């Protein structure tokens, strides 16, 4: 894919806000992220827990993903950046209805609280700038770490569902989670992140 076409497409995506937390920035993904994205995303244990990530994951997959950003005005995709560069992603889909949050983090960055911080920052933006009454998430039942992130952020488990996994080529058992605005606001008074 020609770099110029990709850069033109990303100009639209760059209108997405840059969100800051204590240790992280959530920003629009850029072509400079591709090598790190391909390396971190090429992990079967990550891909099998996600709906739309193929495995193996190549730089070409990353280019395809970047080229598709900005096509849906009700979706924002954020790169999670710890100051050293891309370490994972957060997506917000359905911003014109009931927002759905999704996320992943590269294996070297697990166990540091980064995803709780990144997802919490994205939620602060959603509840601070949108009229959303709730935010939802789906997570593979076996993904205990992701379920713990959601619980820590105030989401409650609302039941069973299935979740397709591109990497596995099948649907897998999953749980649905929901966070309502009142619960979010009661838990997070005065904790809104800053915009850059």
pLDDT of residue 26: 98
Per DSSP, which regions of the chain are E strands?
19-20, 25-27, 76-81, 86-93, 100-105, 134-140, 156-165, 170-180, 194-195
pLDDT of residue 1: 45
Cis ω before 33 (30° cut-off from 0): no
pLDDT of residue 188: 83
Read off the pLDDT of residues 17-53 as tens digits, 9 standing for 90 and up. 999 999 999 999 999 999 999 999 999 999 999 988 9
Read off the pLDDT of residues 127-169 as tens digits, 9 standing for 90 and up. 999 999 999 999 999 999 999 999 999 999 999 998 888 878 7
Asked whether residue 11 carries a pLDDT value surpassing 50, the answer given is no
Number of structural domains the chain divides into: 1
CB burial of residue 3 (10 Å; 0-12, 13-18, 19+): exposed
- Domain around 73: 3-195
pLDDT band per the 50, 70, 90 thresholds, residue 195: very low
Structure tokens at 40: 């971190």
Its pTM stands at 0.88
Consecutive H or E run containing 85? none
The enclosing domain of 129 has a CATH number of 3.40.630.30
Gap between the Cα atoms of 175 and 159, Å rounded: 6
């Amino acid at each position: 894919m020609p770099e110029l076409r990709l850069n033109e497409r990303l100009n639209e995506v760059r209108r997405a806000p840059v969100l800051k937390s204590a240790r992280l920035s959530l920003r629009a993904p850029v072509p400079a992220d591709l090598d790190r994205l391909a390396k971190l995303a090429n992990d079967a244990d990550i891909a099998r827990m996600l709906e739309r990530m193929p495995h193996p994951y190549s730089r070409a997959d990353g280019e395809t993903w970047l080229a598709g950003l900005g096509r849906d005005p009700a979706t924002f995709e954020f790169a999670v950046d710890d100051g050293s560069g891309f370490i994972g992603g957060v997506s917000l889909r359905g911003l014109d209805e009931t927002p759905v949050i999704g996320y992943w983090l590269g294996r070297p960055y697990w166990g540091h609280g980064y995803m709780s911080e990144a997802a919490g920052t994205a939620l602060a933006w959603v509840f601070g700038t949108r009229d959303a009454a709730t935010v939802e998430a789906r997570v593979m039942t076996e993904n205990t770490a992701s379920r713990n992130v959601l619980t820590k952020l105030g989401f409650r488990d609302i039941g069973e569902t299935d979740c397709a996994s591109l990497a596995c080529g099948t649907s897998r058992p999953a749980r649905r989670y929901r966070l309502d605005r009142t619960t979010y606001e009661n838990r997070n008074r005065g904790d809104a992140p800053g915009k850059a």
